[in-house]
Structure 1
Amino acid sequence: MEPLQQAILLRVNGHYQEARQLLLSLYEQDKDDPHISYQCAWVHDLLGMEKEAIPFYEHAINQGLSGQERRGALLGLGSTYRTIGEYHQSKKIFKQGMQEFPNANEFPVFLAMTLHNLGDNEKALKILLNKIVELTDDEGIQRYKKAIQFYADKLNEVWD
Protein backbone atom coordinates (compact mmCIF):
# COMPACT_ATOMS: atom_id res chain seq x y z
CA MET A 1 0.00 0.00 0.00
CA GLU A 2 1.27 3.47 -0.89
CA PRO A 3 2.15 5.67 2.09
CA LEU A 4 -0.52 8.27 1.27
CA GLN A 5 -3.19 5.59 1.11
CA GLN A 6 -1.90 4.18 4.37
CA ALA A 7 -2.19 7.62 6.01
CA ILE A 8 -5.74 8.03 4.71
CA LEU A 9 -6.65 4.61 6.08
CA LEU A 10 -5.20 5.56 9.46
CA ARG A 11 -7.28 8.78 9.42
CA VAL A 12 -10.45 6.97 8.38
CA ASN A 13 -9.96 4.45 11.18
CA GLY A 14 -9.52 7.18 13.79
CA HIS A 15 -5.76 6.91 14.26
CA TYR A 16 -5.29 10.64 13.81
CA GLN A 17 -1.92 11.08 15.49
CA GLU A 18 -0.38 8.24 13.51
CA ALA A 19 -1.89 9.60 10.31
CA ARG A 20 -0.57 13.07 11.14
CA GLN A 21 2.98 11.82 11.70
CA LEU A 22 2.98 9.90 8.43
CA LEU A 23 1.43 12.79 6.50
CA LEU A 24 3.92 15.32 7.87
CA SER A 25 6.72 12.99 6.83
CA LEU A 26 5.22 12.70 3.34
CA TYR A 27 4.79 16.47 3.16
CA GLU A 28 8.47 17.01 3.98
CA GLN A 29 9.34 14.68 1.09
CA ASP A 30 6.97 16.30 -1.42
CA LYS A 31 5.66 19.75 -0.54
CA ASP A 32 4.25 20.24 -4.04
CA ASP A 33 1.72 17.39 -3.85
CA PRO A 34 -1.70 19.00 -3.22
CA HIS A 35 -3.20 15.65 -2.15
CA ILE A 36 -0.72 15.33 0.70
CA SER A 37 -1.33 18.94 1.74
CA TYR A 38 -5.08 18.35 1.75
CA GLN A 39 -4.76 15.24 3.89
CA CYS A 40 -2.45 17.14 6.27
CA ALA A 41 -5.07 19.87 6.62
CA TRP A 42 -7.85 17.35 7.19
CA VAL A 43 -6.02 15.46 9.94
CA HIS A 44 -5.02 18.68 11.70
CA ASP A 45 -8.67 19.74 11.69
CA LEU A 46 -9.70 16.39 13.16
CA LEU A 47 -7.15 16.85 15.93
CA GLY A 48 -8.53 20.29 16.82
CA MET A 49 -5.45 21.98 15.39
CA GLU A 50 -7.40 24.40 13.21
CA LYS A 51 -4.74 27.11 12.94
CA GLU A 52 -2.18 24.52 11.86
CA ALA A 53 -4.60 23.18 9.24
CA ILE A 54 -5.05 26.49 7.42
CA PRO A 55 -1.67 26.68 5.63
CA PHE A 56 -2.12 23.10 4.43
CA TYR A 57 -5.60 23.86 3.06
CA GLU A 58 -4.34 27.01 1.34
CA HIS A 59 -1.32 25.22 -0.08
CA ALA A 60 -3.44 22.35 -1.43
CA ILE A 61 -5.87 24.75 -3.10
CA ASN A 62 -3.09 26.92 -4.53
CA GLN A 63 -1.21 23.85 -5.82
CA GLY A 64 -4.13 22.95 -8.07
CA LEU A 65 -6.17 20.47 -6.06
CA SER A 66 -9.23 19.61 -8.15
CA GLY A 67 -12.55 17.78 -8.09
CA GLN A 68 -14.07 16.49 -4.88
CA GLU A 69 -10.85 17.07 -2.98
CA ARG A 70 -10.88 20.77 -3.94
CA ARG A 71 -14.52 20.95 -2.90
CA GLY A 72 -13.63 19.41 0.47
CA ALA A 73 -10.61 21.65 0.91
CA LEU A 74 -12.60 24.81 0.24
CA LEU A 75 -15.30 23.73 2.66
CA GLY A 76 -12.71 22.73 5.26
CA LEU A 77 -10.81 26.00 4.90
CA GLY A 78 -13.94 28.14 5.09
CA SER A 79 -15.21 26.22 8.08
CA THR A 80 -11.85 26.40 9.82
CA TYR A 81 -11.68 30.17 9.32
CA ARG A 82 -15.16 30.41 10.84
CA THR A 83 -14.26 28.35 13.89
CA ILE A 84 -11.28 30.57 14.70
CA GLY A 85 -13.29 33.76 14.26
CA GLU A 86 -11.92 34.82 10.87
CA TYR A 87 -15.44 35.41 9.56
CA HIS A 88 -14.60 37.63 6.58
CA GLN A 89 -12.07 35.08 5.31
CA SER A 90 -14.64 32.34 5.87
CA LYS A 91 -17.25 34.24 3.87
CA LYS A 92 -14.78 34.80 1.02
CA ILE A 93 -13.89 31.09 0.84
CA PHE A 94 -17.51 29.90 0.97
CA LYS A 95 -18.42 32.31 -1.84
CA GLN A 96 -15.50 30.94 -3.85
CA GLY A 97 -16.81 27.43 -3.20
CA MET A 98 -20.28 28.46 -4.36
CA GLN A 99 -18.81 29.85 -7.59
CA GLU A 100 -16.67 26.81 -8.29
CA PHE A 101 -19.28 24.26 -7.18
CA PRO A 102 -22.69 25.85 -7.78
CA ASN A 103 -24.58 22.61 -7.11
CA ALA A 104 -22.84 21.91 -3.79
CA ASN A 105 -25.51 22.72 -1.20
CA GLU A 106 -23.09 22.62 1.71
CA PHE A 107 -21.47 25.95 0.78
CA PRO A 108 -24.56 28.15 1.20
CA VAL A 109 -25.46 26.39 4.45
CA PHE A 110 -21.99 26.98 5.89
CA LEU A 111 -22.06 30.54 4.51
CA ALA A 112 -25.28 31.08 6.47
CA MET A 113 -23.46 30.13 9.68
CA THR A 114 -20.72 32.63 8.87
CA LEU A 115 -23.25 35.34 8.06
CA HIS A 116 -24.83 34.72 11.45
CA ASN A 117 -21.40 35.20 13.05
CA LEU A 118 -21.07 38.46 11.13
CA GLY A 119 -24.44 39.63 12.47
CA ASP A 120 -26.28 39.30 9.15
CA ASN A 121 -28.95 37.02 10.55
CA GLU A 122 -31.61 38.06 8.07
CA LYS A 123 -29.49 37.04 5.07
CA ALA A 124 -28.41 33.84 6.84
CA LEU A 125 -32.00 32.84 7.53
CA LYS A 126 -33.03 33.70 3.96
CA ILE A 127 -30.36 31.35 2.60
CA LEU A 128 -31.44 28.54 4.94
CA LEU A 129 -35.16 28.98 4.22
CA ASN A 130 -34.53 28.85 0.48
CA LYS A 131 -32.31 25.76 0.84
CA ILE A 132 -34.97 24.00 2.91
CA VAL A 133 -37.60 24.69 0.26
CA GLU A 134 -35.24 23.65 -2.53
CA LEU A 135 -34.02 20.44 -0.96
CA THR A 136 -36.89 18.98 1.01
CA ASP A 137 -39.56 16.60 -0.18
CA ASP A 138 -41.62 17.26 2.93
CA GLU A 139 -45.25 17.65 1.92
CA GLY A 140 -45.98 20.44 4.40
CA ILE A 141 -42.96 22.51 3.37
CA GLN A 142 -43.74 22.00 -0.30
CA ARG A 143 -47.37 23.02 0.27
CA TYR A 144 -46.19 26.38 1.62
CA LYS A 145 -43.18 26.72 -0.66
CA LYS A 146 -44.33 29.96 -2.31
CA ALA A 147 -45.11 31.60 1.02
CA ILE A 148 -41.75 30.58 2.50
CA GLN A 149 -39.92 31.90 -0.55
CA PHE A 150 -41.96 35.13 -0.51
CA TYR A 151 -41.26 35.85 3.15
CA ALA A 152 -37.62 34.70 3.12
CA ASP A 153 -36.37 38.21 2.30
CA LYS A 154 -39.16 40.06 4.12
CA LEU A 155 -38.65 38.66 7.61
CA ASN A 156 -38.74 42.04 9.33
CA GLU A 157 -41.63 43.54 7.38
CA VAL A 158 -44.94 44.12 9.13
CA TRP A 159 -48.15 44.50 7.17
CA ASP A 160 -51.10 46.57 8.46
Structure 2
Amino acid sequence: MSDVEFDELMARLAGDPDDPELVREVAYAHDRRGLEHEAVPYYERALALGAADRLGIFTGYGSTLRVIGRFEDAVKVFEQGLAEFPSDPALRAFLAMALYNRGDARRAVSTLLTLLAEKDQVGPYGRAVAYYAENLDETI
Protein backbone atom coordinates (compact mmCIF):
# COMPACT_ATOMS: atom_id res chain seq x y z
CA MET A 1 0.00 0.00 0.00
CA SER A 2 1.43 3.32 -1.04
CA ASP A 3 1.67 6.32 1.24
CA VAL A 4 -1.06 8.03 -0.76
CA GLU A 5 -3.42 5.03 -0.42
CA PHE A 6 -2.69 4.82 3.28
CA ASP A 7 -3.34 8.54 3.75
CA GLU A 8 -6.61 8.23 1.80
CA LEU A 9 -7.69 5.32 3.99
CA MET A 10 -6.93 7.31 7.14
CA ALA A 11 -8.88 10.29 5.76
CA ARG A 12 -11.86 8.03 5.05
CA LEU A 13 -11.70 6.76 8.61
CA ALA A 14 -11.58 10.31 9.96
CA GLY A 15 -14.82 10.97 8.07
CA ASP A 16 -16.51 7.79 9.33
CA PRO A 17 -14.72 6.64 12.52
CA ASP A 18 -17.41 4.14 13.52
CA ASP A 19 -17.47 2.12 10.28
CA PRO A 20 -16.34 -1.32 11.51
CA GLU A 21 -15.15 -2.48 8.10
CA LEU A 22 -13.10 0.67 7.61
CA VAL A 23 -11.59 0.33 11.08
CA ARG A 24 -10.68 -3.27 10.22
CA GLU A 25 -9.01 -2.17 6.98
CA VAL A 26 -7.02 0.45 8.86
CA ALA A 27 -5.80 -2.23 11.30
CA TYR A 28 -4.71 -4.42 8.38
CA ALA A 29 -3.05 -1.45 6.66
CA HIS A 30 -1.01 -0.65 9.75
CA ASP A 31 0.15 -4.27 9.96
CA ARG A 32 1.14 -4.33 6.30
CA ARG A 33 3.23 -1.20 6.87
CA GLY A 34 5.05 -2.74 9.84
CA LEU A 35 3.21 -0.54 12.33
CA GLU A 36 2.03 -3.36 14.56
CA HIS A 37 1.88 -1.30 17.77
CA GLU A 38 -0.33 1.25 16.03
CA ALA A 39 -2.57 -1.50 14.61
CA VAL A 40 -3.63 -2.81 18.04
CA PRO A 41 -6.25 -0.17 18.94
CA TYR A 42 -7.81 -0.51 15.48
CA TYR A 43 -8.17 -4.27 15.90
CA GLU A 44 -9.77 -3.69 19.30
CA ARG A 45 -12.20 -1.15 17.85
CA ALA A 46 -13.05 -3.37 14.88
CA LEU A 47 -14.04 -6.19 17.24
CA ALA A 48 -15.99 -3.82 19.50
CA LEU A 49 -17.83 -2.30 16.53
CA GLY A 50 -18.82 -5.72 15.19
CA ALA A 51 -16.80 -5.90 11.98
CA ALA A 52 -17.90 -8.75 9.73
CA ASP A 53 -14.55 -10.50 9.22
CA ARG A 54 -14.16 -11.58 12.83
CA LEU A 55 -12.02 -14.57 11.88
CA GLY A 56 -9.55 -12.37 10.04
CA ILE A 57 -9.55 -9.86 12.87
CA PHE A 58 -8.84 -12.50 15.51
CA THR A 59 -6.03 -13.92 13.37
CA GLY A 60 -4.48 -10.54 12.59
CA TYR A 61 -4.94 -9.11 16.07
CA GLY A 62 -3.54 -12.14 17.87
CA SER A 63 -0.63 -12.37 15.45
CA THR A 64 0.14 -8.69 15.93
CA LEU A 65 0.09 -9.06 19.72
CA ARG A 66 2.47 -12.02 19.44
CA VAL A 67 4.85 -10.12 17.18
CA ILE A 68 5.07 -7.20 19.62
CA GLY A 69 5.77 -9.55 22.53
CA ARG A 70 2.36 -9.52 24.21
CA PHE A 71 2.21 -13.31 24.32
CA GLU A 72 -0.40 -13.73 27.06
CA ASP A 73 -2.72 -11.27 25.32
CA ALA A 74 -2.16 -13.08 22.03
CA VAL A 75 -3.14 -16.41 23.59
CA LYS A 76 -6.33 -14.82 24.96
CA VAL A 77 -7.25 -13.38 21.55
CA PHE A 78 -6.60 -16.68 19.77
CA GLU A 79 -8.64 -18.55 22.38
CA GLN A 80 -11.47 -16.03 21.99
CA GLY A 81 -11.32 -16.53 18.23
CA LEU A 82 -11.33 -20.29 18.62
CA ALA A 83 -14.45 -20.04 20.79
CA GLU A 84 -16.18 -18.66 17.68
CA PHE A 85 -14.22 -20.58 15.04
CA PRO A 86 -13.11 -23.79 16.80
CA SER A 87 -11.78 -25.64 13.79
CA ASP A 88 -9.87 -22.83 12.09
CA PRO A 89 -6.37 -24.17 11.37
CA ALA A 90 -4.70 -20.76 11.13
CA LEU A 91 -5.96 -19.65 14.55
CA ARG A 92 -4.76 -22.94 16.01
CA ALA A 93 -1.33 -22.65 14.39
CA PHE A 94 -0.89 -19.07 15.58
CA LEU A 95 -2.09 -20.08 19.04
CA ALA A 96 0.66 -22.72 19.10
CA MET A 97 3.26 -20.06 18.29
CA ALA A 98 1.99 -17.77 21.05
CA LEU A 99 1.94 -20.65 23.52
CA TYR A 100 5.53 -21.44 22.64
CA ASN A 101 6.54 -17.80 23.03
CA ARG A 102 5.02 -17.60 26.50
CA GLY A 103 6.91 -20.75 27.53
CA ASP A 104 4.20 -23.39 27.17
CA ALA A 105 6.02 -25.64 24.71
CA ARG A 106 4.10 -28.76 25.72
CA ARG A 107 0.69 -27.24 24.90
CA ALA A 108 2.13 -25.68 21.72
CA VAL A 109 3.39 -29.03 20.43
CA SER A 110 0.16 -30.75 21.45
CA THR A 111 -1.86 -28.13 19.56
CA LEU A 112 0.20 -28.63 16.41
CA LEU A 113 0.14 -32.43 16.62
CA THR A 114 -3.62 -32.39 17.04
CA LEU A 115 -3.95 -30.09 14.05
CA LEU A 116 -1.75 -32.34 11.91
CA ALA A 117 -3.71 -35.43 12.87
CA GLU A 118 -7.09 -33.80 12.26
CA LYS A 119 -6.06 -32.44 8.88
CA ASP A 120 -4.81 -35.90 7.85
CA GLN A 121 -1.27 -34.64 7.30
CA VAL A 122 0.48 -37.66 8.80
CA GLY A 123 -0.99 -40.44 6.70
CA PRO A 124 -1.43 -43.77 8.44
CA TYR A 125 0.06 -42.36 11.65
CA GLY A 126 -2.93 -40.14 12.41
CA ARG A 127 -4.16 -42.17 15.35
CA ALA A 128 -0.73 -42.38 16.91
CA VAL A 129 -0.04 -38.67 16.44
CA ALA A 130 -3.44 -37.78 17.89
CA TYR A 131 -2.76 -40.03 20.87
CA TYR A 132 0.65 -38.56 21.56
CA ALA A 133 -0.70 -35.03 21.18
CA GLU A 134 -2.35 -35.72 24.53
CA ASN A 135 0.34 -38.01 25.94
CA LEU A 136 3.64 -36.43 24.89
CA ASP A 137 5.49 -37.61 27.96
CA GLU A 138 4.47 -41.24 27.68
CA THR A 139 7.27 -43.71 27.16
CA ILE A 140 7.78 -47.38 27.93
The alignment-based identity, stated in percent, is 36
Q: Could you tell me how far 1:16 is from its partner in structure 2?
A: 3.7
Question: What TM-score results when the alignment is normalised by the length of structure 2?
Answer: 0.94
Q: Which residue of 2 aligns with 1:54?
A: 40
1:50-129 superposed matches below 5 A: 50-66=36-52, 69-129=53-113
Change (3 A) 1:98 1:60: same
Counterparts of 1:106 and 1:50 in 2: how far apart (Å)?
19
Q: Could you tell me how far 1:74 is from its partner in structure 2?
A: 1.2
| 5+ residue gaps, structure 2 | none
Would the aligned equivalents of 1:19 and 1:43 in 2 still touch at CA under 8 Å? Answer: no
Q: Which residue of 1 aligns with 2:126?
A: 145
- From 135, 140, 144, give the equivalent of 2:119: 135
SS in 1 for 2:18: coil
Deviation above 3 Å: which 4+ runs of structure 1? none
Q: Could you tell me how far 1:102 is from its partner in structure 2?
A: 1.9
Q: Could you tell me how far 1:77 is from its partner in structure 2?
A: 0.6
Would the aligned equivalents of 1:126 and 1:152 in 2 still touch at CA under 8 Å? Answer: yes
Counterparts of 2:85 and 2:3 in 1: how far apart (Å)?
31
Question: What TM-score results when the alignment is normalised by the length of structure 1?
Answer: 0.83
Q: Could you tell me how far 1:18 is from its partner in structure 2?
A: 2.5
1:14-29 superposed matches below 5 A: 15-29=1-15
Counterparts of 1:99 and 1:50 in 2: how far apart (Å)?
24
Structure with larger RCO (C-alpha < 8 A, sep 6+): 2
Is 1:31 the equivalent of 2:12? no
Q: Count how many residue pairs are aligned between Structure 1 and Structure 2.
A: 140
SS in 2 for 1:23: helix
Task: Provide, for residues 109-159 of structure 1, a one-character-per-residue CA deviation record: whole Å limited to 9, x for no partner.
Answer: 1100000001111110111011111113x5xx2311111111122222332
Task: Provide, for residues 39-84 of structure 1, a one-character-per-residue CA deviation record: whole Å limited to 9, x for no partner.
Answer: 0000100010001101111111100112xx2211111110000000
RMSD: 1.2
